[in-house]
Structure 1
Amino acid sequence: MSDLEWSVADGVAIIRLNRPERRNAFTLDMVREWAEYLRLARTDPDVRVVVLTGTGNKAFCSGVDLSSISNANPHLTPLERKSQLHDEIHRVALELEALDKPVIASINGAAVGAGLDMALMCDLRVAARSAKLSEGYVKVGLTPGDGGAYYLPRLVGTSKALELLLTGDFIDADEALRIGLVNRVVDDDDLADATRALAAQIAAGPPVTIRMIKRATYQSANIDLRTALDLISSHFAVVAATDDAAEALSAMSEKRTPNFTGR
């Protein structure tokens, strides 16, 4: 069995962390494979949505396996430690930024430190009711090394993000939903089906339109209104000229389910 599993069916790709005996902590080898899967997802027309989850019901991901990184080697220089983060672990964040297809984190248990960060960098999050979430870095004397200080304030606001980052406190799934950290909370036994249903709903939409919506949403967060409106008018013009846009209108008028081809 691989430590990181990849499968594709009906437009949905699943990346599964498969180290339940280590609470799905990831190694550097897993990060390299993870980034490769995301590159594959970007270019594979059969992939319309990506789901990230873990094996078992105890942990989504407990972060980096400390035995595989610099903390286990006191002889590394600060530059070597930085390179290990930036050149290795950050590959996943950078590949996700380049991926314009929706990514859903299916949080099946504890998500801690870099494990939580890996969920935060996804576009949507569905959590099992028993899930527990913590940034946790401060409790081991570290800064959030995998983007938590970037992603978390954008989801829950600066003040709440600082509270979670500075205390390292755990919050449960209902609190995560209340503050906007996750999109949905479902019973543990329903998590896989609920995530799959959400992924299938998105995957059934017009692929070019879905990708343009994701792209425009993130682009618009970093630009002024006039630039955003200029940009979306271009996206709109491109999407309106696709076969899928014509198919959507035909299906609506004919009261049938559309058949989107990604063209």
Structure 2
Amino acid sequence: MADLEYTVADGIGTILLNRPHRKNAFTLDMIDVWAQALRDARTDPDVRVVVLTGAGDAFCSGVDLDRRDAAGPPTPLQRKEHLTERIHRIAYAMEDLDKPVIAGINGVAVGAGMDMALMCDMRIMARSARLSEGYVRVGLVPGDGGCYYLPRLVGTAKALELLLTGDFIDAEEAGRLGIANHVVDDADFVGAVTTLARKIADGPPVAIRTIKRAVYQSARSDLRTALDLISSHMAVVTSTDDSAEALAAFREKRPGRFVGH
């Protein structure tokens, strides 16, 4: 079986990190497939939501350091290029993707593994899962966006505490901090991820994609710019067939049948 599997079914694209014997530590080859899967999802009309999760009892333990350094210690330039030209492609592909991405955190997420979860739009955690930025424990700086994403979720002071200590937090604490949208019992984990993904996938896709764009655009805009932009979005969305179908379904108390335009 492949180290990373990407499948599409019923509107849900699933990226499965599939190296359970290594706690789903990723290789550079996996990164290339991962980034391509996100790019494919962006343009695939059959994908309305993406789920990222891990096989076995881990979400992702970060980069596979043994595999990375197998050919000898990289030069500073090689190390930078590993990040900017390979690993960071995930963050860029995520930013380009206007379809919602759910991280299903089924187990431990450490270092770059935690960063990969943070760059998703939503996170569901199994109750036994734990998170740690962890880089500082091995003398490294967060290399995959932790210094960018974490403060935006938990605030600067708490982010610095987690980044500077590398301490683990459990799922309950992640929920209290706003990192996890939902914390569920391990036995209910798969069902909870599927339920949320299904609910989003069954919604009007143009409106959903536009809402995601508007949220992130508004975070970088002043009020007047954000409201001017949303008025344009509203004009476009209400012109679609799906908007009319959503209103009809609401009035008739039935599920909507959406086609993506």
The TM tier, using the shorter chain, reads over 0.9
Which residue type is aligned with residue 54 of structure 1? G
- Give the whole-Å Cα distance in 1 for the aligned partners of 2:182 and 2:260: 28
SS at match of 1:90: helix
- Give the whole-Å Cα distance in 2 for the aligned partners of 1:56 and 1:24: 8
CA-based RMSD of the aligned residues comes to 1.1
Unaligned runs of 5+ in 1: none
Shift in Å, 1:73: 2.9
Contact 1:206 1:262 in 2 (8 A): yes
- Give the whole-Å Cα distance in 2 for the aligned partners of 1:24 and 1:166: 24
- Give the whole-Å Cα distance in 2 for the aligned partners of 1:108 and 1:84: 27
Contact 1:2 1:18 in 2 (8 A): yes
Give TM-score scaled by structure 1 length: 0.97
Identity of aligned residues (%): 70
Name the residue aligned to 2:183: 185
Distance change >3 Å, CA 40–CA 129, structure 1 → 2: same
- Give the whole-Å Cα distance in 2 for the aligned partners of 1:123 and 1:210: 13
Which residue type is aligned with residue 180 of structure 1? G
- Give the whole-Å Cα distance in 2 for the aligned partners of 1:167 and 1:253: 53
**Is 1:174–2:177 an aligned residue pair?**
no
- Give the whole-Å Cα distance in 1 for the aligned partners of 2:209 and 2:70: 39
SS at match of 1:6: strand
Give TM-score scaled by structure 2 length: 0.98
| Number of equivalences | 261
SS at match of 2:46: coil
Unaligned runs of 5+ in 2: none
Contact 1:26 1:63 in 2 (8 A): yes
Contact 1:138 1:165 in 2 (8 A): yes
Contact 1:132 1:170 in 2 (8 A): yes
- Give the whole-Å Cα distance in 1 for the aligned partners of 2:231 and 2:68: 46
Among 237, 240, 253, the residue aligned to 1:239: 237
Name the residue aligned to 2:25: 25
Name the residue aligned to 1:48: 48
- Give the whole-Å Cα distance in 1 for the aligned partners of 2:71 and 2:209: 41
Distance change >3 Å, CA 150–CA 221, structure 1 → 2: same
Contact 1:69 1:84 in 2 (8 A): no
Shift in Å, 1:248: 1.0
Name the residue aligned to 2:72: 73
- Give the whole-Å Cα distance in 2 for the aligned partners of 1:71 and 1:119: 26
- Point out the more displaced range, 100-109 or 6-15: 6-15
